[in-house]
A = this chain, B = another copy of it.
């Protein structure tokens, strides 16, 4: 289903959103000049499935500058209609709108593939899977995949059936440094403040998981005066926390102590209903991991005597022992809840990796192996260099 109704008001609103964010995507702006000059994508069509929001629009400009035609659809629920309209207005073929569900999403995917793209830029391997199952991969020379879970699909259910190289963006060390440690670390604190109207100083936080996200969260809370205990099963990582003076404990030993629990483990069911029964009255739960399943929410709903939404983003559950616990953002990523998505600079970095990866595919697809593969070292170095330039050359 192609995008239809265009009020001029929505178009203008979309354009204004881009006006704010586009100049802030500095690495993409630098690449825009390069792509304009070199035209590495000349004559190629790109099929894309990425969130249709202002920052992604920056990538589209780079690709267009590079000579590509682009057909794009978003993910269900994340499309910003005004941005979609603004993009359509610049000659991009845009499919889908904010109210699409899974069925419409698959139809949008097919609409994109009907453009017979040579290059795919995918998010969760939806494009690739549909291509292989319903279309022909002939003529596709390669692509990129944004997510780790998409890469997992390529390596499991689609194993052996992907006849072209796919560069997986999310494995880049730059994502861990820029996005996980700093981006998630800081915006998780921002989201907590925004949703709860509480302060950090003196408050007792339990951060469950000390990977790059957990480390960023723990450090940000500590800098703001929070008292932080970390729960981490890998002793080497746990020791890293300990060397910073952060308390390291078993989860069981933090339950009555903690006032707020923030999960960032990447695992499911880390905090169970049993754990919640041992927490102190008034405990606050937030998740910063990718999936909302880090808390056992169904277990919580099963035991809860009552459940009530107090204000936006805060649900109160009354436990059998009479204690109240408060769930933020329904367990979805607290740093994104009610906000504007990942910060511009995070996206700038990730989308620049996308742009240079697809350029590499366009130029070297014959030399590259088939299937999922990491971002080439020199692309990581290149984007790091551009980002340093964007910060320090003024």
Contact = CB atoms under 8 A, between A and B. Distances in A.
Contacts of A183: 199
B177 A20 contact: no
A387 B240 CA distance: 11
A190 interface: yes
B308 A178 contact: no
A194 B197 contact: no
A266 interface: no
Interface stretch (A119-127, A128-136, A147-155, A341-349): A341-349
Contact of A245 (B225, B235, B345): B225
Contacts of A5: none
Interface in A271-325: 280, 282, 308-311, 314, 316
B339 A194 contact: yes
B16 A311 contact: yes
Contact of A344 (B16, B197, B202, B224): B197
Given A194-B190, A385-B235, A204 B394 contact: yes
Contacts of A394: 204, 257, 280
Contact of A343 (B198, B225, B240, B244): B198
A306 to B, nearest CB: 12
Nearest to A258: B394
A79 interface: no
B236 A177 contact: yes
Given A186-B193, A310-B16, A339-B194, A174 B239 contact: yes
A173 interface: yes
Contact of A173 (B228, B236, B346): B236
B239 A177 contact: yes
A69 interface: no
Q: How many copies does the complex hold?
A: 4
A176 to B, nearest CB: 10
Contacts of A187: 193
Nearest to A173: B236
Interface residues of A, number: 76
A239 B314 contact: no
B225 A21 contact: no
Interface in A312-365: 314, 316, 326, 339-341, 343-346
Contact of A198 (B24, B234, B257): B24
A228 B16 CA distance: 29
A269 interface: no
Given A186-B224, A197-B344, 9 more contacts: A17-B310, A20-B310, A173-B236, A178-B239, A197-B343, A220-B224, A225-B244, A248-B391, A248-B392
10 contacts: A174-B236, A177-B236, A182-B201, A197-B339, A197-B344, A202-B392, A204-B394, A242-B388, A247-B392, A248-B391
Interface of A: 16-17, 19-21, 23-24, 173-174, 177-178, 181-183, 186-187, 189-190, 193-194, 196-204, 220, 222-228, 234-236, 238-240, 242-245, 247-249, 257, 280, 282, 308-311, 314, 316, 326, 339-341, 343-346, 380-381, 384-385, 387-388, 391-392, 394
